[in-house]
Structure 1
Amino acid sequence: MHRPTTAEAEIAEELAAVRPGLLPRYAAELPGARAAVLTRLWRALAHEPLPWLTGRTPGAYSLALRLADGRTLYGPHADPYATSAYVIAVRLDRERHDDPARLMTALGVPHGSAFAAELAHSVASLALSRAGADHPKEWPEQDWAWEQRVVDGHPFHPNCRSRPGFSVADQLAYGPEHGPVVELGTVPVPAADCLVSGDWPAELRSGDRLLVPVHPWQATHVLNRPYDTWQRARPLMSLRTLALPGGPHVKTALSARLTSSVRDISAYSVRVAAPLSDFAEDLAARTEGLLHITRTLGAVTDRSPDLAALLRESPQAYAAPGERVVPVAALATTALPDSPDWLAAFTRLTLTVGLRLLDLGVALEAHGQNLLVVLSAEGTPVRLVYRDLADIRISPARLARHGITPPALTGRLITDDETALRRKLFGSLVAGALAATAGSGPALAGALTAAVPHLPPGPDLTSLCNGPVPAKALTLMRLSPRTPGDQWTALPNPLVLKCGLSDQ
């Protein structure tokens, strides 16, 4: 019998106190949650440049990973683009492991203990998410309902549901997969102390003070200050961004580590919000109607990352009658990706837009959360919507080649580095959104094979077709806490994979 980890036991104990009726479902979901997280971890072990792995040897039916200390880890061949939980257990020498947290502990690698605790929390929280999610099979009408169908979180990150600092009550109250309504508040701040970008609405002003929307968890656990109740809202898949009834989306600061990152809002992000939104709107007009970028209506901060908010246009603004705007991450909850023709059309649309903007000088971070697809009444992908410009990359040199005046911005968004630009787009779109929608290397290869002949030629497409596919080394990053910024790995190109299996 599996011995529960501390995280599993703690969540069970809390659940017994706040919602005991979910306990049986939670217990039933734990084995599947372990397999889901273990599959993500095995992908990382098989494909990321982890310094304590010295070799990878494929066999007829399995993959062997050699550790620097002489031990060997055995598991199935690792499809870097698979999303199904196909890894039930792996073997470290003769010891079988079906729990990702205990496997990481047994590996005994630097910083592995802290990561093991995150993995344990990811498993337990994922089981809780699956136990509490109960969404109808019918396609929803509201934008927030699509978001709440995404139960499993990041499709490739082992910390797909890690929410340290969130109690069970917090997860049930704020996690979108549980379908809650959240009472957003506001905190008054003297206008003279605020940094504002764009137009801050009159309803969020009071005399010489600006009313900054605040998430209730942030107000209680970080700000430790009272707040006034403002509006009831529905959390979207990022948890800290919420949809107001019939209105814009509100991105709040949430200083908790979710998946990998602390979700605050920097003063830099607020400062660049309005000029970046204006620039992106002009750029989207160059895609012949294939892409819309949601406008940032206003942004404000008290100049600390812990109290800030952005008001952003809802993607639903770009849906015609009968159309639906669906986050790409939610496509896996529909039957659409099961059709090779549909997947090929979707791949062609996304790469046409992504490569066009990259050629102009902008690399979108087009993962399944930021990228949305507009579906016709028949389910055909007709155009795209992109939201959240906080992590795009802009190349002044590429813009200048096309006679486009670069925005008057500096800082981390600006780079002319070809590798950085291609990593940003291909790592998020191909290794992220398209891979997760396809669900496997062979399916992704088929979609790319059908789409590539119809894409605009150029050096970026050549790089995509002929080289490995960049992807963030998510596990390496969690095991390298002293290394700032993104770290990367190179995945086998699905266009040259014969059976969707890696033989690194």
Structure 2
Amino acid sequence: MPPPPPNSPVIRHTADAAQTREELAKLRPELVERYDAALPGARAAVLSRLLGAFAREPLPGLRDRRTGEVSFPGVTMRFPRRAAVAFARADDGLTATVRAETAPEDEWAGLTATGWAGPGLPGGPETATEPGAEWAASWHDSDAWVGELSPGAFVSDPGTLVRILWPGSDLAAEVDNSVANMALARASHLARAEQLARAGQLPRDDQRARAEQLARAAQLPRDEQRALQEELARAEQLARAGQLPRDEQRALDEQLARAAQLARAEHGGRAGLGEWAGLGEWARLGAWPLSTAGDPDGLAIAEQSITDGHPLHPCCRTRGGMSVADVLAYAPEHSPAIRLRRLRVPAERWHGTAEPVLLAHPWQAARIRERYPWLVDDGETAAVLPLMSLRTVALQGGGPHVKTAVDVQMTSAVRTVSPAAVENGPVLSRLLKAVTKDLPIDVLEETAAGAVLVDGVPQRHLAHLVREAPRLAEGETIVPLALYGANDSLVGAVPDPYEMMGLLGAVLFAPLVRVLERGIALEAHGQNTLVVLRDQRPVRIVYRDLGGVRVSARRLERAGFEAPRLLGDLPTDDPQVLRTKLAAAALGTVAAEIIAALSRHGADTQRLWAIVAAALRETGTSDVRHLLRDPLPVKATTAMRLAADPLDDIWAYLDNPLAAQ
């Protein structure tokens, strides 16, 4: 087995599930019961992400891989094929089966989901036509074989699985923390949803969605479902008018509690239809308002409604370095409003375009003041709301966004602000605005940035940058693309999935390819790419955060733009690097996740991919034939966490669904 990564960040105050529960009992005892109920679903969700890595990533020590089975030295593991599919919804009780010795050859050794395969990794180069192969492949595809052919230990905890395969790795503690924080997030959102419901603050559509989720989870009789929906609608109307009598509110609460009880009973006492039950399912699916032109805080509220984090990374909710109290106080999924510290910096110790005042996250400020006593406290900012990334905040009531530095590991990296970002942001913002001037992409300009100098060197943990906030016209709403994967209610409100994908082709996928042709590969993943909607239909894209882009001076000059001087790893003329950056985020993540979400509502997957392919093909650029033909790259996040340098990109290459279109 490989040794633990030598330069992994030190994990301080990072609690596992048991430690989180112990702290929660002291800090928020009213959440403990909900946390316990959410924990099995959180374990399954993180385990599903880890199984996805086993199915597609170049993991250290991996010796052999077949559909639903991987082998490491001395260990063979089998798992349900469907649980390892990207963006799968994991059921409570998901397990992998581990044998602590090399699996013996058996009569099923060459079986894959498509038949009997020859030697090699998934599927092998040859497929024989053995008698009964079609039946065997069908049985294999049903996942029935996992229980029939896998004597060994059943492992439901992803941290335990990491310890078995990579003993001594920091990844196990990170995964433990991810599970605990996801359960904590789900518990907190359930409590918040119940508070809003009792206060009568939910819009009618959300009340109706809530009733439908409850009824579906509990399988209520149709007449009871109708009665529940009518009662919710009436209660919402009365609550808005301030006319809901206390006894009627109590009766409504009892009716909702009964539906939740029925849901739990229907699912064997577990809190889940897949992952949640009753109101908890509704809370996870999101009944929070979307940002509109007249609601400056709506975007932050929508982003804070995402409980589960990165859809493919097993460290999706890792908060390495934060205590449970810190997570409750600062993590966006707990809906906090905070205030940044203003720390005045001597002019000779400041680098950047911003005034010499470090805007420090309060968590970070508490840890740097003693070390740098010449940072002078100049009070607090106005209240700000954390966005999806925790360290980026939006001014409450409207105003610019601020990206701060925190020495906290989230997913794959400690989230500081690099000297390159301080230098590049304002320059690259202006360039990108010029490159996208004729396209339906609004770039949120990074207007100012700065870093503290120590011994003449800009410090990434003492830096910040300021970014524009989105601007909306009357009748427009805005959401991050990640919300489509996290919020089934939003997907369910899509009027026509094929029209939706066609519009995304016109405002997102095709423009991204045109920007690539002009010299900039945008890393348009679900967190940094927002979609502006009118009547639930995409009309344009808003792009933020320039740290992950790649810039080709040769292409820029060919397109008539002057290439600026950029620091760090952004500059490259390698066409493969440029295409990989775009394809991994926009196609392998965003398109794949949205298509998976729409398909859960009955849309045809192949037809949706064909629409994306048509949008790319219509651009006629030189990159399109590669994007349609080459294997589809997806960032190998687990392999990266186990690598010597966890920040170096590692890619998994998948069959390209665009190739068949």
* Residue aligning to 2:608: 447
* Residue aligning to 1:219: 365
Specify the SS of the correspondent of 1:166. Answer: coil
Residue 223 and residue 479 in structure 1: after superposition, are their counterparts in 2 closer, same or farther (change >3 A)? farther
- How far apart are residue 497 of structure 1 and its match? 8.0
* Residue aligning to 2:447: 297
Question: For each residue in 1:153-187, what CA deviation from the matched residue of structure 2 results, as whole angstroms up to 9, or x when unmatched?
Answer: 10100000011211111111111111111121111
- Cα distance in 2, alignment partners of residues 285 and 162 from structure 1: 38
TM-score normalized by structure 2? 0.68
Question: For each residue in 1:421-441, what CA deviation from the matched residue of structure 2 results, as whole angstroms up to 9, or x when unmatched?
Answer: 111111111122222223369
Select which of 482, 485, 488 maps to 1:329: 482
Specify the SS of the correspondent of 1:66. Answer: strand
Question: For each residue in 1:255-301, what CA deviation from the matched residue of structure 2 results, as whole angstroms up to 9, or x when unmatched?
Answer: 111111111111221112221111111112032xx111011121111
- How far apart are residue 188 of structure 1 and its match? 0.7
Q: Is the 8 A contact 2:49 2:84 kept in 1?
A: no
Specify the SS of the correspondent of 1:470. Answer: strand
Question: For each residue in 1:232-272, what CA deviation from the matched residue of structure 2 results, as whole angstroms up to 9, or x when unmatched?
Answer: 11000010011113110011111111111111111221112
Residue 122 and residue 480 in structure 1: after superposition, are their counterparts in 2 closer, same or farther (change >3 A)? same
Mind listing any 5+ residue stretches in structure 1 that lack a counterpart? 499-504
- Cα distance in 1, alignment partners of residues 49 and 437 from structure 2: 38
Q: Is the 8 A contact 2:319 2:409 kept in 1?
A: yes
Residue 422 and residue 321 in structure 1: after superposition, are their counterparts in 2 closer, same or farther (change >3 A)? same
Alignment of 1:102-181 (within 5 A): 102-107=160-165, 109=166, 113-133=169-189, 134=192, 137-141=287-291, 142-181=298-337
- How far apart are residue 21 of structure 1 and its match? 0.2
Residue 371 and residue 396 in structure 1: after superposition, are their counterparts in 2 closer, same or farther (change >3 A)? same
Residue 99 and residue 457 in structure 1: after superposition, are their counterparts in 2 closer, same or farther (change >3 A)? same
- Cα distance in 2, alignment partners of residues 223 and 477 from structure 1: 33
* Residue aligning to 1:502: none
Specify the SS of the correspondent of 2:501. Answer: helix
* Residue aligning to 2:104: none
* Residue aligning to 2:536: 379
* Residue aligning to 1:306: 461
- How far apart are residue 118 of structure 1 and its match? 0.9
- Cα distance in 1, alignment partners of residues 594 and 464 from structure 2: 31
Mind listing any 5+ residue stretches in structure 2 that lack a counterpart? 1-13, 100-151, 194-201, 203-286, 292-297, 453-457
* Residue aligning to 1:84: 89
- Cα distance in 2, alignment partners of residues 495 and 129 from structure 1: 36
Residue 72 and residue 253 in structure 1: after superposition, are their counterparts in 2 closer, same or farther (change >3 A)? closer
1:280 and 2:436 correspond: no
1:390 and 2:395 correspond: no
**Looking at both structures, which has the greater relative contact order when contacts are Cα pairs under 8 Å and sequence separation is at least 6?**
1
Q: Is the 8 A contact 1:150 1:177 kept in 2?
A: yes
- Cα distance in 2, alignment partners of residues 441 and 52 from structure 1: 36
* Residue aligning to 1:368: 526
Question: For each residue in 1:395-438, what CA deviation from the matched residue of structure 2 results, as whole angstroms up to 9, or x when unmatched?
Answer: 11111222222123243110011111111111111122222223
* Residue aligning to 1:17: 26
1:231 and 2:382 correspond: yes
Q: Is the 8 A contact 1:364 1:425 kept in 2?
A: yes
Specify the SS of the correspondent of 2:312. Answer: coil
1:357 and 2:515 correspond: yes
- Cα distance in 1, alignment partners of residues 451 and 339 from structure 2: 20
Specify the SS of the correspondent of 2:162. Answer: helix
Q: Is the 8 A contact 2:514 2:621 kept in 1?
A: no
Select which of 542, 566, 570 maps to 1:413: 570
- Cα distance in 1, alignment partners of residues 49 and 475 from structure 2: 37
Alignment of 1:44-63 (within 5 A): 44-58=53-67, 63=68
* Residue aligning to 2:158: 100
* Residue aligning to 2:76: 71
The AA in structure 2 aligned to 1:25 is R
- How far apart are residue 140 of structure 1 and its match? 3.0
Select which of 44, 47, 50 maps to 1:41: 50
- Cα distance in 1, alignment partners of residues 584 and 651 from structure 2: 9
- Cα distance in 1, alignment partners of residues 409 and 175 from structure 2: 13
Which entry has the higher C-alpha Rg, 1 or 2? 2
Q: Is the 8 A contact 2:97 2:155 kept in 1?
A: yes
Residue-pair matches, total: 473
* Residue aligning to 2:255: none
Q: Is the 8 A contact 1:435 1:441 kept in 2?
A: no
Q: Is the 8 A contact 2:504 2:538 kept in 1?
A: no
- How far apart are residue 82 of structure 1 and its match? 2.3
- How far apart are residue 452 of structure 1 and its match? 1.8
- Cα distance in 2, alignment partners of residues 175 and 244 from structure 1: 16
- Cα distance in 2, alignment partners of residues 487 and 441 from structure 1: 29
Specify the SS of the correspondent of 2:311. Answer: coil
1:468 and 2:631 correspond: yes
Deviating more after overlay: 439-448 vs 186-195: 439-448
- Cα distance in 2, alignment partners of residues 12 and 391 from structure 1: 36
* Residue aligning to 1:501: none
Question: For each residue in 1:85-137, what CA deviation from the matched residue of structure 2 results, as whole angstroms up to 9, or x when unmatched?
Answer: 25811111311111111111122x365x3111111111011000111123562
Specify the SS of the correspondent of 1:409. Answer: coil
1:424 and 2:482 correspond: no
RMSD between superposed Cα atoms in Å:
2.2
Q: Is the 8 A contact 1:347 1:448 kept in 2?
A: no
The AA in structure 2 aligned to 1:364 is L
* Residue aligning to 1:481: 644
Question: For each residue in 1:206-243, what CA deviation from the matched residue of structure 2 results, as whole angstroms up to 9, or x when unmatched?
Answer: xxxx2211100001134446742222110000100111
Q: Is the 8 A contact 1:80 1:441 kept in 2?
A: no
- How far apart are residue 79 of structure 1 and its match? 5.5
- How far apart are residue 36 of structure 1 and its match? 0.3
The AA in structure 2 aligned to 1:345 is G
- Cα distance in 2, alignment partners of residues 322 and 176 from structure 1: 27
- Cα distance in 1, alignment partners of residues 40 and 437 from structure 2: 48
Q: Is the 8 A contact 1:336 1:342 kept in 2?
A: no
- Cα distance in 2, alignment partners of residues 431 and 64 from structure 1: 23
